[in-house]
Amino acid sequence: MMMAEIWSLGGSLQIATIVFLWKILENYFSGHLRRSIISYGTKLASLVSPYIYIKFPEFVGDSEEYVGVKRSDAYAAIETYLSGKSSREAKYLKAIDVKDSSQPVQLSMDENEGVTDEFEGIKLSWVAKKEYTITQQSFSFNPQMDEKRYYELTFHKSHRDFVNGTYINHVIQKGKAITVSNRQRKLYTNNPSQSWERYRARKWSHATFEHPKTFDTLAMESKKKLEIVNDLENFSKGKDYHKKIGKAWKRGYLLYGPPGTGKSSMIAAMANHLEYDIYDLELTTVKNNTELRKLLIETTGKSIIVIEDIDCSLDLTGQRKKEKKKAKDEEANNPITKMTKGEEDSDSKVTLSGLLNFTDGLWSAIGGEKIFVFTTNYVERLDPALIRRGRMDMYIELSYCGFEAFKVLAKNYLDIDSHPLFATIGHLLEETNITPAEVAEKLMPKCMNEDAETCLKKLIEALETAKDEAKMKAEEEARLKVETEEKEKQEDALEDVKVDGSLAKVKENCVGVVKDNGATA
């Protein structure tokens, strides 16, 4: 008889024996006595068995009130960790809907199904199980059957310390990491504080973040992109390092440059590269520093907190100076006129000090793994304390389109790496200031008949027009400068003439007085 057949026969005999003994217990022993026999039998088996069993229930809390109790984070992490192995090894699976996940369903083991895991040379067994308990409801003659699911981990007792100290932590951390990587990332914006007190109201509203921008499609010099990517990756892997040096696990970036140079695209690329959520903070809706801290507390780790156009959000540059004098004329006080000019009043009392504490104070360390990004078109308008080194760890200037950035855009929009017109465009870009947004607009085909050459010629025409306009503007500025200087010279000469005339009159008056005095004498 073959060895496999012997093992098969032995296994069948064991199963038959277990079924026979269970039938005897069920038919000839009362429920209380049966439970006692099973309990003592389990204890006796544990004395002989070299294995240890750990139970991870689905819910945590009082076993008598299992329904509605919080779901165990450990159970959820284990389920996610075992999902990959289950889909490859288990025969009986169940599909689970996962909320806010990029994956439509997650496959997990069905009840009484098991898989084997190997970690650092040690083999361990996982089994998905379910137990039933009878609960007697008040004012009801029909008892209800509660299902309690759990995972059971089995391993040799010689590995007890390793499993308790290393393996379980590895499983839970790995499961959480998989959950984060599979999650559906979100774009948040803060709600006005007057709506926070409503039923089930939240401080942040969100939408699914689906921006496609990546560093591969970002119009920027490759050397500069590589520097930013390396900095981001070092930060994302720097949890232990930040803890070692006693610094909060956060980083600050200042994006500055003319409008249309890709500041928002940079933020999207950063979020996609790190797989972070984005919190777009609108400061003008925040009433005071207390509300600002409450918003910060509600943010999560692995997120980018963005304040765009910070020089326009609030009058933060004037917090250290005296308040500006109120305009006296009606036009300055007219709210419609001020709104037209983008100078509407804000009820916000957020101070520079409050914002500094938000980004670099004790509260900024809550949640960990956060990136603060400020954007501005006019970096010179910002208070130096807001953007000092250490608070903003990296300054990223996004300037006008260069030739390397143009080639990225040509690849994105026209799917070409080279063309005879590239040389002409390269020379024009060196002589003209044009933003990547303007270049992209010219490269995007407007109809199906426009090919790459047509779009490139449109760009050349736009560059030549911009060059001529810049030349005319420079000439006009030079002419105005000369006229201003000439006018100032004429005013100075006229002032000298007035002074000379005044002196002549004074001398004449003095002579007249002397003559009069002489005649009187």
Helix, strand, coil fractions of the chain, as percent rounded to 5: 50, 20, 30
Residue/partner pairs of 294-299 with CB below 8 Å, 24 or more apart: 294/203, 295/190, 295/203, 295/204, 296/358, 296/363, 296/364, 296/366, 297/363, 297/366, 298/202, 298/203, 298/204, 299/188, 299/204, 299/367, 299/370
Query: At 421, is the secondary structure helix, strand, or coil?
Result: coil
Residue 3 has pLDDT above 50, yes or no: no
* DSSP string covering 455-486: HHHHHHHHHHHHHHHHHHHHHHHHHHHHHHHH
Residues 6 or more apart whose Cβ sits within 8 Å of residue 495? none
Give the pLDDT mean for 155-168.
Answer: 92
Is the model more confident about 164 or about 19?
Answer: 164
Q: What is the structure's pLDDT at 358?
A: 82
d(CA 318, CA 313): 13
What is the pLDDT confidence band of residue 105, given thresholds at 50, 70 and 90? confident
**What percent of the chain clears pLDDT 90, i.e. is strictly above it?**
38
Q: What is the structure's pLDDT at 336?
A: 36
Residue 359 has pLDDT above 90, yes or no: no
Q: What is the structure's pLDDT at 127?
A: 93
Residue 502 has pLDDT above 50, yes or no: yes
331 secondary structure, DSSP code: H
Contact 423, 202 (CB under 8 A): no
d(CA 59, CA 70): 6
H helical segments located in 206-361: 222-236, 239-245, 263-274, 289-297, 310-313, 330-333, 335-340, 352-360
Q: Is the dihedral of CA 215, 218, 222, 228 positive or negative?
A: negative
Burial annotation 31-51 (CB, 10 A radius, 16+ → b, else e):
eeeeeeeeeeeeeeeeeeeee
- Among 356, 389, 392, 353, CA closest to 372: 392
Residue 125 has pLDDT above 70, yes or no: yes
Is the model more confident about 178 or about 334?
Answer: 178
Residue type, 437: A
d(CA 178, CA 449): 46
Give the pLDDT mean for 412-432.
Answer: 93
74 secondary structure, DSSP code: H
- Among 98, 73, 70, CA closest to 83: 98
d(CA 476, CA 468): 12
Q: What is the structure's pLDDT at 337?
A: 42
Record the tokens describing residue 483, joined without a space: 């006229």
Q: What is the structure's pLDDT at 88?
A: 86
The most confident of 79-88, 189-198, 346-355, 369-378, by mean pLDDT:
369-378
Give the pLDDT mean for 71-92.
Answer: 87
**Per residue in 266-308, pLDDT tens?**
999 999 999 999 999 998 888 888 899 889 888 988 999 999 9
Residue 23: phi and psi, rounded to 5, are: -65, -40
Give the pLDDT mean for 193-216.
Answer: 85
What is the pLDDT confidence band of residue 42, given thresholds at 50, 70 and 90? low
Give the pLDDT mean for 433-442.
Answer: 93
d(CA 186, CA 245): 31
Residue 474 has pLDDT above 50, yes or no: yes
**Per residue in 448-472, pLDDT tens?**
788 999 999 999 999 999 888 888 8
Q: Is 456 exposed, middle or buried (0-12, 13-18, 19+ CB in 10 A)?
A: buried
| Overall fold of domain 186-329+349-397 | Rossmann fold (3.40.50)
What is the pLDDT confidence band of residue 6, given thresholds at 50, 70 and 90? very low
Residue 338 has pLDDT above 70, yes or no: no
Record the tokens describing residue 320, joined without a space: 């250290």
What is the pLDDT confidence band of residue 327, given thresholds at 50, 70 and 90? very low
Residue 68 has pLDDT above 90, yes or no: no
Residue 341 has pLDDT above 50, yes or no: no
CA torsion 16→20→22→28, rounded to 10°?
180
User: What does pLDDT average to over the chain?
Assistant: 80
Contact 261, 400 (CB under 8 A): yes
Ordered by start, the domain boundaries in the chain are 52-132+145-182, 186-329+349-397, 419-485
d(CA 300, CA 274): 14
Q: What is the structure's pLDDT at 37?
A: 65
CA distances from 143 to 33, 64, 483 (A): 22, 14, 99
